[in-house]
Chains A and B, each alone.
Chain A
């Protein structure tokens, strides 16, 4: 298993390099000018100097290697310095945002909590809803509960989050006035009242994303339970005189969860990407909104860094899913 993990880690390196090259080239070859938004009164030679100071004049491979060095060497060292208080010495160039002139990593660190709270919470809620529904609808296959569950999950992944989100705002904040429609990021939880406010403002985005996630995961859960319910070991367990509850929740569930756990792991990075829309609907200023603003402002370093982080997340969770599968299911041997 360790061997396999190491091999997979090594294989991830060329993929990462290829992706970083794609992202870098795509943004670099595109006709976008970071000085286009500056006032027209700036003379052309000053404008050229600004471009030089941003490092746009150098040949493409030098810029790529510098970008890689910044990204893979400088930033990790900075993070280590900040976290552990070590000092590696030397003056390292950081990846600076062209819009705010501050390091991109700092921006991401600022935005991360909002995204993690909303998106992470919605994913956990989604899984917690999906697993029981999947179990019960597989156990009572073709019952009205199963039919309803199938319909709801079909609706759940057919209706896009930007419509459910807007619909929720119309119903719960315009008509009923229960929840605020805009997420207030500056809100700090100090006492019970502010905690209630935090829960209220998180309710809608979390629910919208949770519904979307639960729709997919409950289908997987149901299919996986159905695969296991007709197997011989279930009959044996029942023949031994075990309680139906034990058969279902201990024997079948443990085996059915194996593929579902990997599906859950695989879904994590997609949730980060998909949350861009939900963040936009509810005005949560998380990572997705940072990306949108950076794209609209032609802020190449921020866009490159964020897209690359999303790619790293996808590769990382693919790896985790594969390794988990091997750990959970001893029948699977990769070597």
Chain B
């Protein structure tokens, strides 16, 4: 009884590689496909856009200030006559770069803490207490406080742009690793009891090799999903900080900063807040959809159906 069903299934479908299966499942999620399409579009736009749209984002043309959309300025110009499209492209570059870097840092920290806590029993208690402690911190107030306090020191050390970049990536990374750590730890704890890990230990595999060969490849899927959610979180946090006036300076704009600057002209030029706001919202929405699709595609219980 139990043998016949898989046989018939196997006959109906030729064997495929695992990633092919994942992709097949991912394709069925329409939102995730759209999300991926839009995300790739945004990445390409901010990477290649400044080469195609060659107006300098910093170029001030005071006679052309406060213009509406036209052929020479498709998104209009701001109060100093800077081209909004060019500013959106260069701002998007910074926003996306901050999002990716902060996500990588958070992922690295989270995976490290999660794997170490799950694998080494002695470190489990202290590391998880540390995670709980970080989860109990009021994050947004603390982020604001840290940035306000250390902004000037870092600016004078690394220059205004690099300094604030390092600071923001660092604070976002260091305050968003906890979810990843918890998920990874749970998975590692379950993996440790599996036969292949026990077998591998019985032939004397050292811990280092064990983690890199057997544990890490098997926790890849939760890490991938939290990576996408991490990008969304980092982009939103960075924009929120910039929106509160504690992020990047006005001459080195990000989407959040552009939105913040536009709110000063809300009464006169209300359409100006739309572009950066839409860019942030749609990018985060697409990343969330990608995460949703990946979660379904990487879960073998859902994939089989």
Residues on A lying within 8 angstroms of B by beta carbon are 15, 18-19, 22-23, 26-27, 30-32, 151, 154-155, 157-160, 162-163, 166-167, 169-170, 174-175, 181, 269, 273-274, 276-277, 280-281, 291-292, 295-296, 303, 306-307, 310-311, 313-315, 318
Contacts and interface: CB of A to CB of B under 8 A. Distances in A.
Contacts of A181: 266
A318 B136 contact: yes
Interface in B174-214: none
B220 interface: no
Contact of A158 (B133, B232, B244): B232
A258 B277 CA distance: 36
Contact of A31 (B136, B153, B266): B153
A276 B266 contact: no
Contact of A162 (B136, B146, B148, B243): B243
B150 interface: yes
28 contacts: A15-B133, A15-B136, A19-B136, A22-B137, A23-B142, A26-B149, A31-B150, A31-B153, A154-B31, A154-B288, A154-B292, A158-B232, A160-B280, A162-B239, A163-B273, A166-B277, A167-B274, A174-B266, A269-B138, A273-B138, A276-B140, A276-B244, A291-B144, A295-B246, A307-B138, A307-B141, A311-B137, A315-B136
Interface of B: 31, 132-133, 135-142, 144-146, 148-150, 152-153, 232, 236, 239-240, 243-244, 246, 256, 259, 263, 266-267, 270, 273-274, 277, 280-281, 284-285, 288-289, 292
B18 to A, nearest CB: 27
A315 B259 CA distance: 34
B144 A292 contact: yes
A314 B141 CA distance: 13
A22 B174 CA distance: 14
Contacts of A295: 144-145, 148, 246
A169 B263 CA distance: 10
Given A292-B244, A314-B138, 11 more contacts: A26-B149, A31-B150, A154-B31, A158-B281, A158-B285, A166-B277, A276-B141, A292-B144, A307-B138, A307-B142, A307-B145
Given A31-B153, A280-B244, A273 B140 contact: yes
B294 to A, nearest CB: 15
Contact of A154 (B137, B142, B153, B285): B285
Contacts of B263: 166, 281
Nearest to A159: B281
B146 to A, nearest CB: 7
Contacts of B149: 26-27, 30-32
B132 A15 contact: yes
* Cβ-closest 5 pairs across A and B: A310-B138, A30-B149, A163-B277, A158-B285, A170-B270
Q: Is the interface of A mostly helix, strand, loop or mixed?
A: helix
Nearest to A161: B240
Nearest to B235: A160
Name, among B133, B138, B145, B240, the residue most crowded by chain A CB atoms within 10 Å (CB to CB): B138
A157 B288 CA distance: 9
B138 A311 contact: yes
Contacts, number: 118
Contacts of A307: 138, 141-142, 145
B236 A160 contact: yes
Contacts of B133: 15, 18-19
B95 to A, nearest CB: 12
A170 B132 contact: no
A170 B232 CA distance: 25
A318 B128 CA distance: 16
Contacts of B292: 154
Contacts of A15: 132-133, 136
Nearest to B144: A295
A169 B264 CA distance: 12
A198 to B, nearest CB: 23
Given A160-B280, A277-B240, A155 B285 contact: yes
A161 B64 CA distance: 32
Contacts of A157: 288
Contacts of B142: 23, 26, 307
Contacts of A315: 136
Contacts of A22: 137
A30 B288 contact: no
A170 B146 CA distance: 32
A222 to B, nearest CB: 14
A163 B140 CA distance: 17
A61 to B, nearest CB: 21
Contact of B141 (A163, A166, A291): A291
A30 B150 contact: yes
A307 B140 CA distance: 10
Contacts of A163: 259, 273, 277, 280-281
A280 B245 CA distance: 11
A316 B150 CA distance: 30
Contacts of A151: 31
Contacts of B137: 19, 22, 311, 314
A313 B145 CA distance: 18
A242 B270 CA distance: 55
Given A19-B136, A160-B281, A296-B148, A167 B141 contact: no
A284 to B, nearest CB: 14
A276 B289 CA distance: 27
Contacts of B138: 269, 273, 307, 310-311, 313-314
B145 A167 contact: no
Contacts of B148: 32, 295-296
Nearest to B289: A154
B67 to A, nearest CB: 19
